Amino acid sequence: MIPPFERLAIIGLGLIGSSIARAARKAGAAKTIVAIDRDATVRERVSALGLADEVTGNAAKGVAGADMIVLCVPVMANAAVGATIGPHLAPGAIVSDVGSVKGSVVRDVGPHMPGGVHFVPAHPVAGTEDSGPDAGFAELFVNRWSILTPPPDTAPAAIERTKAFWEAMGSNVEVMTPEHHDLVLAITSHVPHLIAYNIVGTAADMEAVTQGEVIKFSAGGFRDFTRIAASDPTMWRDVFLTNKDAVLEMLGRFNEDLAALQRAIRWGDGDALHALFTRTRAIRRGIIASGQETAAPNFGRKPEPLPETVEAKPQ
Ligand code: NAP
């Protein structure tokens, strides 16, 4: 167990920020937790939920004296937040973030960090489609991976401290370059979200199928896309604008593979379809075996009870 931080400042008390506040408190990872949010309604809610020891809208004041500061705002908001807090950071402090894209955060926030402050960007690969302080929960990071992307000259002790912070909240931690992170996440997270946004948008635009039918028959697979497509619009706009190159690279690969599938269907190549579907089923099983997903069928959804008239029927 590492010694707790004296003062943990969390900027942006949304899903991720409020989950960190809850998890850090449960883990005893900080003596004082300071919640910083620009929105008075969010601040009121954070106070009502008792998520922090201090709640403020003034970022400069909130980070003063903090030894750990975590930026939990949309990716493109990090530059302005970094510029605001830079002059008020205490020497020796660690500044981290949770952004889903790392190259742009390193580029945009790094220059605002004064000498003597350690910058250790992070990305917890954990989340839900919900936003705001009520959406967070302490267990969000348990057995999920958090990826650290420290610049090459970062003090090893600061990296170790940040790693221990995430581990205290239940996370597994891996260190890699921002470029590698952005490429991996483009295929495991960003492109899947784009596909979900696209398929839900296409279905919504279909003239031959009524909106009512889209909802009524959604259990055929569509509703699992709608969960992802309900994710925060600001967050995801920022992800695609800041991880443009990696997403376009992966989309190119995706489109080639989709064209091959289209061809297999057109030419009745059942073997090709069967071979791919067998391979993808094994990937799903691998994810379950690694503990990253429930083994319960249909994502663990409970079946609806039989209607009473059916249950009452004699056998
Ligand atoms: P969220 O619930 O919408 O919370 C975002 C927070 O950032 C809110 O407190 C919001 O304040 C604040 N904010 C927004 N724009 C701002 C600005 N320009 N200046 C200052 N504060 C601003 O979002 P989230 O899901 O926690 O996402 C936060 C970060 O976590 C993002 O960088 C995202 O990429 C990353 N992340 C998300 C997930 C996920 O699944 N959701 C997973 C891993 C990482 P207001 O209340 O004033 O809007």
Check whether residue 155 and residue 9 sit in a common domain. Answer: yes
Q: Which of 98, 106, 169, 188 to mutate to test the pocket of ligand 1 (most atoms within 8 A of CB)?
A: 98
Choose between 211 and 74: higher pLDDT.
74
- Contact criterion met (CB below 8 Å) for 130 and 15: yes
Check whether residue 22 and residue 169 sit in a common domain. Answer: yes
Check whether residue 77 and residue 135 sit in a common domain. Answer: yes
pLDDT of residue 192: 97
- List residues near ligand 1 (CB under 6 A): 12-17, 37-39, 42, 72-75, 77, 81, 98-100, 123-124, 127, 131-132, 232, 235
Give the whole-number percent of the chain exceeding pLDDT 70.
98
Report the separation in Å between the CA atom of 131 and the middle of ligand 1, taken as the mean of its atom positions.
Answer: 8
Distance, in Å, from the CA atom of 206 to the CA atom of 211, rounded to the nearest integer, reads 8
On the question of pLDDT at 314 being above 80, the answer is: no
Q: Residue 45: which residues within 8 A CB-CB, separation 6 or more?
A: 13, 132, 133, 134
Report the separation in Å between the CA atom of 98 and the middle of ligand 1, taken as the mean of its atom positions.
Answer: 9
Report the separation in Å between the CA atom of 144 and the middle of ligand 1, taken as the mean of its atom positions.
Answer: 19
pLDDT band at 303 (very low <50, low <70, confident <90, very high): confident
- The total number of structural domains in the chain stands at 2
Task: Give the residue whose CA is nearest to atom 45 of ligand 1.
Answer: 39
Is 278 a domain residue?
no
pLDDT of residue 209: 78
Is 233 a domain residue?
yes
Is 152 a domain residue?
yes
On the question of pLDDT at 312 being above 70, the answer is: no
Which of 176, 195, 227 finishes a domain?
176
pLDDT of residue 71: 98
Give the whole-number percent of the chain exceeding pLDDT 90.
85
Least confident of 216-220, 239-243, 288-292: 216-220
Is 258 a domain residue?
yes
Report the separation in Å between the CA atom of 276 and the middle of ligand 1, taken as the mean of its atom positions.
Answer: 37
Check whether residue 146 and residue 220 sit in a common domain. Answer: no
- Give me the CATH number covering residue 160: 3.40.50.720
On the question of pLDDT at 262 being above 90, the answer is: yes
Is 282 a domain residue?
no
Check whether residue 64 and residue 114 sit in a common domain. Answer: yes
On the question of pLDDT at 315 being above 60, the answer is: no
Is 309 a domain residue?
no
Q: Which of 55, 70, 73 to mutate to test the pocket of ligand 1 (most atoms within 8 A of CB)?
A: 73
Which of 155, 176, 197 finishes a domain?
176
Task: Give the residue whose CA is nearest to atom 14 of ligand 1.
Answer: 73
Which of 161, 176, 191 finishes a domain?
176
pLDDT of residue 92: 97
Check whether residue 169 and residue 191 sit in a common domain. Answer: no
**Which residue from 72, 75, 74, 121 is spatially nearest to 94, judged by alpha carbons?**
121
Q: What number of CA atoms fall less than 13 Å from residue 246's CA on the CB side?
A: 24
Check whether residue 96 and residue 204 sit in a common domain. Answer: no
Is 98 a domain residue?
yes
Check whether residue 9 and residue 121 sit in a common domain. Answer: yes
Is 275 a domain residue?
no
Check whether residue 158 and residue 17 sit in a common domain. Answer: yes
pLDDT band at 1 (very low <50, low <70, confident <90, very high): low
pLDDT of residue 161: 97
Q: What is the mean pLDDT of residues 80-103?
A: 98
User: pLDDT tens, 210-237?
Assistant: 878 888 888 888 999 999 999 999 999 9
* Ligand 1 atom with the shortest distance to the CA of 73: 7
User: pLDDT tens, 106-120?
Assistant: 999 999 999 999 999
Check whether residue 195 and residue 70 sit in a common domain. Answer: no
Check whether residue 99 and residue 214 sit in a common domain. Answer: no
User: pLDDT tens, 137-190?
Assistant: 999 999 999 999 999 999 999 999 999 999 999 999 999 999 999 999 999 999
Q: From the CA atom positions of the chain, what is the Rg in Å? A: 22
pLDDT band at 273 (very low <50, low <70, confident <90, very high): very high
User: Domain residues for 234?
Assistant: 180-267
- Give me the CATH number covering residue 233: 1.10.3660.10
Check whether residue 79 and residue 193 sit in a common domain. Answer: no
